[in-house]
Amino acid sequence: MTTRPASEVAAEWKSWAPQLRSVLRIMAAAMYIVAGTIKVFAFPIGVPPDGGTSPVLSQAWIGGVLEVVGGSLLFVGLFTRPVAFVLSGEMAVAYFQYLFPQSFWPHVNMGMPAVLYCFLWLYYSAAGPGPWSLDALRGKPRAID
């Protein structure tokens, strides 16, 4: 068994960065979709405390629709940059309107998911979806490869 130099292994691992950007987008979008299905369809659970859906046309319901539709577009990597930008803004609004008034600290106000999604989607709005996406199949240019 021959061993490869560490620099060769590191170079090969680094070459997977675009594909791993796609994997991160797909996994984050899948979890984001579920956040929306809870609000809109009460699936896989409903909104606490009664387990139902958010009232139709309420801010929470509209946020849920954005999460389902936008998350689905991000999942397949279609219109990634504009959709990610809008969803980043949605998470910023959710954080500052609902969570920040409870506490400055995201660990205290339970706002860590909102903050992380805000900056993750902001990143994708600049970086693009990665090679495993419908945007890539459509031949749209990608910022980072």
Q: What is the pLDDT of residue 117?
A: 98
Q: What is the pTM of this model?
A: 0.90
pLDDT band at 139 (very low <50, low <70, confident <90, very high): confident
The answer to the question of residue 5 being in a domain is no
The answer to the question of residue 89 being in a domain is yes
Whether the link from the prior residue into 141 is cis, omega within 30° of 0, is no
Q: Is 94 within 8 Å of 110 (Cβ atoms)?
A: no
Q: Which domain holds residue 92?
A: 19-132
The answer to the question of residue 13 being in a domain is no
The answer to the question of residue 8 being in a domain is no
Q: What is the pLDDT of residue 143?
A: 54
Domain count, the chain: 1
The residues facing 47 across adjacent strands are 52
The answer to the question of residue 124 being in a domain is yes
pLDDT band at 7 (very low <50, low <70, confident <90, very high): confident
**CA distances (Å), origin 86, targets 18, 43, 145:** 23, 24, 23
The answer to the question of residue 88 being in a domain is yes
State the Cα–Cα distance between residues 49 and 59, nearest whole angstrom: 17
The answer to the question of residue 137 being in a domain is no
DSSP 8-state assignment for residue 2: P
